[in-house]
Every structure is written in structure tokens, then in C-alpha cells.
Amino acid sequence: MGTVELITEHTRCLPESVQREILNFVEYLFNKHNSPLTRSVVPTTRQAGLHAGCAVVAADFDAPLSDDFWLGTE
């Protein structure tokens, strides 16, 4: 017996309210796996250097922070 048949067989024995919950869950899974976002995601190879120069590190980046900064008064 296949998976669909087993699900159908077990579901028939459950109350209507539980069958509706199962239907809601199946619809959720269907929408999740058939959304355009999940179908269009194609893994690509990363390429270094595409955003070179977009970020600038301040000259005092390594300078110690004042006590006021750590105490939250600055």
C-alpha cells in the first residue's frame, strides 16, 4: 500500500475536525513547497571582490573604547 493510500485509510477513521486539521496542514505544505521563492532559488558560485570599496573601516577602529561607552553613558 502506498503512502497516499495509508494516509487516506488512517484519515477516514478520524473525526471531521481532525480531518480538517490534516487538510490545513497538507495545504500549508503544498503552498510552502510550490511557492515561487522555493522554486526559483538556484545556488550560485560566490565571486570575491564584487563589492570592493563599498565599506570603509575607520582609522581608529582598533582604538580602545572609553569607559563611558561601556557604562552606557556616552
Residue 67 lies in a domain: no
Residue 71 lies in a domain: no
Q: Report CA 11 to chain centroid distance, whole Å.
A: 30
Domain count within the chain: 1
Q: pLDDT digit of tens for each residue in the chain (74 aa)?
A: 899 999 999 999 999 999 999 999 999 999 888 877 655 566 778 888 888 888 889 999 999 988 998 898 86
- pLDDT of 41 reads 62
C-alpha distances (whole Å) from 34 to each of 29, 39, 59 are 8, 7, 49
- pLDDT of 21 reads 95
Q: Whole domain around residue 38: which residue ranges?
A: 1-42
Residue 64 lies in a domain: no
Has this prediction a pTM greater than 0.75?
Answer: no
Residue 70 lies in a domain: no
Give the number of other CB atoms < 10 A from CB of residue 65: 8
- Residue 22 makes CB contacts below 8 A (sequence gap 6+) with 11, 14
Half-sphere exposure of 19 (CA within 13 A, CB side): 9
Residue 74 lies in a domain: no
Residue 12 lies in a domain: yes
